[in-house]
Structure 1
Amino acid sequence: MMNIVAITGRITKDLELKQAGQTQVTNFSMAVENPYKKDDASFFDIVAFGKTAELLNQYCGKGSKIGVDGTLKQDRFTDKEGNNRSVVRITANRIEFLDTKTQTNKQNQAEKPNKENPFANDNEDISNSDLPF
């Protein structure tokens, strides 16, 4: 039998790295847009362990675009009121960083002009006589 999930989307909230025994773990939610319907997204709960969780927390944050390969896992439990509950999560086996915290922060601050642009050319265009070759 196969249990394979592959999704691409954006992290919906700030990440929190926790310690579970000897292993690091992070739980997060991801929004995945529907490519066929505007303003429609699905939200998935994801858990990552070990080095994957550590790197995710180091390089990504709320709004970061990532790709996740993993498996579905259903956890069944009884709540405080005695009701049977079920939660389906994706356990991440591999995460691909499609942008970083820095890129996400730049996107969020896009309306603020960049004061120092090393590539800005406030002068006129360069003429052929200015070139050394």
Structure 2
Amino acid sequence: MFGISVPPRQGVMNKKARSMAGIWLRAIVVIPTIATTDGTMANFIVTFEFKSDDTRKARYDSFVKKINELTAYKHWDETTSFYCFRLDTTADDLCSSLYVGSDFNATKDIMVVIDVTNKNKAVKGPLEYSSLLDLYLGF
């Protein structure tokens, strides 16, 4: 949001400074929080699908190992292909860490990392209905 305001005359003591001040441009820019740089933890959901083939088990096992490593085994995982946890990172960084740190194959596997706290997401793999994901998440 942008607005224009005139500086208050009582705040400027000398005449020259008042004439130089003119009109101030005030810009209020809302920047969405995408990183937890203040030391707080963000809440994440990671959901995934590994294509069934002869290397699926190895890819899956390395992915789970990486999640356990990143979360120090502090996560919720009672349902299939779904993890919920808190970390001090961003969705993009977490998605990259899981991709690079495991045998995840972006040409056939799918991973969606959702930062619930900051309303942000990151995706790897061939999503068929990405517009529906955007619509139903709302971001």
Is TM > 0.5 for Structure 1 vs Structure 2?
A: no
Question: Larger helix proportion, structure 1 or 2?
Answer: 2
TM bucket (normalised to shorter chain) is: under 0.3
TM-score (norm 1): 0.23
TM-score (norm 2): 0.22
Question: Larger strand proportion, structure 1 or 2?
Answer: 1
